[in-house]
A and B are shown apart, each in its own frame.
Chain A
Amino acid sequence: MQSDPPASLPEPTPTPVPAIRARGLTKVYTRGRAETVRALRGLDLECRPGEIYGLLGPNGAGKTTTLRILSTILRPTAGTAEVAGVDVGADPLEARRRIGFLSGTTGLYPRLTGRETLTYFGRLNGFSGGELEARVEAMIAAFDMAAFADRRCGALSTGQRQRVSIARAVLHGPEVLILDEPTTGLDILAAGTMIDFVESRREAGTCVLFSTHVLSEAERLCDRIGVLFDGRLLASGTYDELARATGERWLEDIFRTLVRTGTDG
């Protein structure tokens, strides 16, 4: 994949409203008769169009739950969430059409080829005929997939699968990209491909919300960073704002200070 944003990628339509807005988002998992887990406790979050927002937090902080709710995979127990002005609870179908979601657990269909995968998602997005074909070919060209587009996804290397996954997520030109730990499990080259892709989306005006454990990624890519802990957003702002608020210089220290404050508080 090229590091520059490919010209043939479909561009999102800018929206005047926040790209992502969550208010009082709460999620309680029920396991068995008595066991309940509060994954989110009234989370408020807002991301602007064209912004790259990084969600940081330790394991179990609620990052994946937040992203899954925003992408309509899960339903919130309470609160509301909007993606590109669409309420994910009221019109999840329209919300899904406006987002591109990618995570370590969104695998490809191993018995379909890359081209078939893109065609399938394109058809379900309402494209057909020449338009569909043109979009699929544009994706194959943009992500340099021509050499393996007709091989089954199950037989592709991790890096090749990653490219097909990204192409699948952006085929329909989503206004919002939600990426859940997108570089986890990838080697340096594949992770680099992903980072280049996220940077390219900023220039294309797409809002990217992504969670990560890798602080250097957040430091390099994010316009703003939110620190999530125990289902609550402890802080949100630019790197400089967070540094000022905590009195720390490095993101690792900023993160630790915020989490310590959250634990004490």
Chain B
Amino acid sequence: MRIPLWRATLLVAMKELRTGSRDRQTVVYAVVLPLCLYPLVLWCLLQGSLFVQGRAERTEVQVGLAAEAPDELPPGLVLALMGPRAAGDETDGPLSVAAAPGGMTADEARAWFERGGRNAPAGLDAVLWIPARGAPGAAGARMFFDATSERSKLARDRLTPRLAAFARELRLGELEGRGLAPDALVPFGIEVADVAAPRDLLGTALSLVLPMLLVMMSVMGAFFPAVDLTAGEKERHSAETTLLLPVPRLAVHQGKILAVCLSAMIATTLNLLALGLSIGHLLEIIGGDAGPKLHEFPFLSLVAVSPLAVLFAFFVSAVLTGVASLTRSFKEGQALLGPVQMGFLIPALTGLIPGLRLTLPLACVPVVNVVLAFRAILQGEHLPAEYAVCALSLLLYGLLATRLAVFVLSRENAQFERISLRKLPSLLRSPSHAK
């Protein structure tokens, strides 16, 4: 009894998925990596930033205080610079002050900093210079720091707000002394309000990185199954056995592509799931009460990109399977698919170009179209015509790639020889297997 083509295709695909699930490399790239990548990367980032922040908070910086006229330095300045700022300020941390020996001009203060602060107990990380009161051409205090030194930048970051707070205190004291209101010199206040909902902010942030990650995961999920089901099968000497299956060869080839596609889709779905949960959870941790909440994570946007993600997985699978079938061993397959993989990843970088939007012509460019469409969907843009063209073109490219893959898989040469670029013309002349 003959079985229908669709059933034969499904049976082959299920068998390939079953054997793939027993291959360590395929499981790692299609399941383990997509599930663990984000939690692992985000945990490392969090731990890393906490470590760096903790180290910075414990680091004591030394600032040299130079003045044109040391006697005129405002009282309380040194204490204000050394004292801790408000709790929770990321720039908070120990700061010591070393006074310059005698009066100095601005150039002398700079030279003092560049020499490392002679007479200072340790090397100076920055120098604050205060001009003489009423000196001709006095332009206010100057701070010298070295942007190539992390310690110097830390000193700048700690010094700047403390100095501003001290100046504000002086100004308020002066106003009070003259009987003026604290806001007498402020004609109007400015309050900046961001009306973007946390959900939209998350969507925008995700739209920068997620499209490229989706492309990467699809390619990664399809890579090993594509090599395993073609070159790997030849290497294991089971390719001839597959040719003997009592079903149309088309069903066999379609079944293989379907299995690769399902593997890519599993990788993408697990990846989206892991991304949603880990980033949402992370934002809740670092955002505190005011930050976005897990329930505000744009899960619906992730669902909305799914149809395009499926079509893209189909396209990627057909291309990778077709190319991998030109090779005869796993090693050859991996070597050949490496550059092809880059052919998907490099256009995916367009998702990082600011201002580039999905237009009808761009919706026809493979890879670029799906990246820009992912981005637009995550940003909540409504571009129905562009999305439709993108979906149709992906379907068309997928079918075309499937046709090409089936053509290559059906050639006798591709089955029994390694096809180098030089041999491609002979592949075209090679007869196909019997159906």
Number of A-B contacts defined by CB within 8 Å: 97
Chain B residues with Cβ under 8 A from A74's Cβ? 412, 433
Q: Is B77 in the interface zone, CB < 8 Å from A?
A: no
A and B contact pairs by CB, cutoff 8 A, 6 listed: A31-B423, A72-B243, A73-B434, A88-B434, A92-B434, A109-B19
CB of B1 closer than 8 Å to a CB of A: yes
B247→A93 contact, CB < 8 A = yes
B425:A33 contact, CB within 8 angstroms: yes
Task: Give Cα A92–Cα B249 distance, bound, in whole angstroms.
Answer: 10
Residues of B within 8 A of A120 (CB): 11, 15
Whether B247 contacts A124 by the Cβ 8 Å rule is yes
Tell whether A210 is near chain B: CB-to-CB under 8 Å: no
Q: B residues within 8 Å of A by Cβ?
A: 1-3, 8, 11-12, 15, 18-19, 22-23, 236-238, 240-241, 243-248, 412, 417, 422-423, 425-426, 429-435
CB neighbours (8 Å) of B248 from chain A are 93
Given A31-B426, A124-B246 in contact, is the A92-B435 Cβ separation under 8 Å?
yes
Interchain nearest-CB distance for B349 vs A (Å): 37
Q: How far is the CB of B243 from chain A (nearest CB, A)?
A: 5
Q: Is the CB of A103 within 8 A of B240?
A: yes
CB <8 Å contact, B246 and A97 = yes
Which listed residue, B23, B236, B246, B431, touches A93 by the CB 8 Å rule? B246
Closest 4 CB pairs of A and B: A126-B1, A92-B434, A107-B237, A111-B19
Distance in angstroms between the alpha carbons of A110 and B233 in the assembled complex:
10
| Cβ-neighbour of B237 out of A72, A89, A106, A116 (below 8 A) | A106
- Using A73-B244, A105-B237, A121-B245 as known contacts, say yes or no to A93 and B432 having CB atoms under 8 A apart: no
Are B246 and A105 in touch, CB under 8 angstroms?
no
**A123: nearest chain-B partner, CB-CB:** B11
B contact face: mostly helix, strand, loop, or mixed: loop
Q: Are A124 and B8 in contact (CB under 8 A)?
A: yes
Let me know if A172 is at the binding interface, CB within 8 A.
yes
Assess whether A75 is in contact with B240, with CB atoms less than 8 Å apart: no
Residues in B neighbouring A73, C-beta threshold 8 A? 240, 243-244, 433-434
Bound-complex Cα distance A106 to B422 (A): 29
**Residue A61 lies at the interface, judged by CB distance under 8 Å to chain B:** no
Q: How near does chain A come to B20, taking the closest CB pair, in angstroms?
A: 8
Question: Interface of A with B (CB < 8 Å)?
Answer: 30-33, 71-75, 77, 88-89, 92-93, 95-97, 101, 103, 105-112, 116, 120-121, 123-127, 152, 168, 172
Q: Is the interface of A mostly helix, strand, loop or mixed?
A: loop
Contact B22 A111 (CB under 8 A): yes
A112 touches B432 (CB 8 A): no
**A75: which of B2, B245, B412 is its contact (CB, 8 Å)?**
B412
Closest to A165 in B: B241
- On chain B, the residues within 8 Å of A116 by CB distance are 18
Distance of A260 from chain B, by nearest CB (Å): 31
Cross-interface CB contact of A126 among B3, B18, B238, B434, cutoff 8 Å: B3
A residues in contact with B18, CB < 8 Å: 111-112, 116
> Once bound together, how far apart are the Cα atoms of A72 and B15, in whole Å?
22
Of B417, B422, B426, the most chain A CB neighbours within 10 A belong to B426
Beyond A109-B236, A121-B246, A172-B246, 19 additional contacts (C-beta under 8 Å) are: A32-B426, A74-B433, A75-B434, A77-B431, A88-B434, A89-B434, A92-B434, A93-B247, A93-B248, A96-B246, A103-B240, A105-B240, A106-B241, A109-B241, A112-B18, A116-B18, A120-B11, A124-B247, A125-B246
> Which single member of A71, A77, A112, A124 contacts B3 (CB below 8 Å)?
A124
Task: Report yes or no: B11 in contact with A71, Cβ–Cβ below 8 A.
Answer: no
Residues of chain A lying within 8 A (CB to CB) of residue B246: 93, 96-97, 121, 124-126, 172
Q: Contacts of B435 on A, CB cut-off 8 Å?
A: 92-93
Min distance, Cβ A176 to any Cβ of chain B, angstroms: 13
| Bound complex: CA A32 to CA B11 (Å) | 36
Assess the B244–A106 pair: CB atoms within 8 A.
yes
Question: With A31-B426, A75-B432 in contact, do A93 and B412 touch (Cβ < 8 Å)?
Answer: no
Taking the closest CB of chain B, its distance from the CB of A216, in whole angstroms, is 27
Bound Cα distance A96, B252 (Å): 14
B244→A75 contact, CB < 8 A: no
Known contacts A32-B426, A172-B246, A106 near B240 by CB under 8 Å? yes
Nearest Cβ distance between residue B435 and chain A, in whole angstroms? 6
Q: Which residues of chain B come closer than 8 Å to A96, judged between CB atoms?
A: 244-246
Query: Which A residues lie within 8 Å of B244 (CB)?
Result: 71-73, 96, 101, 106
Question: B412 to chain A: which residues have CB within 8 Å?
Answer: 74-75
Whether A124 lies near B245 (C-beta < 8 A) is yes
Residues of chain A with a CB closer than 8 A to B22's CB: 111, 152
Measured CA separation A23–B18 after assembly (Å)? 42
Least CB distance from A171 to B in Å reads: 10
When C-beta atoms are compared, the residue in chain B nearest to A98 turns out to be: B246
* Complexed CA–CA distance, A93 and B244 (Å): 9
Most buried by B among A74, A109, A127: A109
Q: How far is the CA of A71 from the CA of B23 in the complex (A)?
A: 30
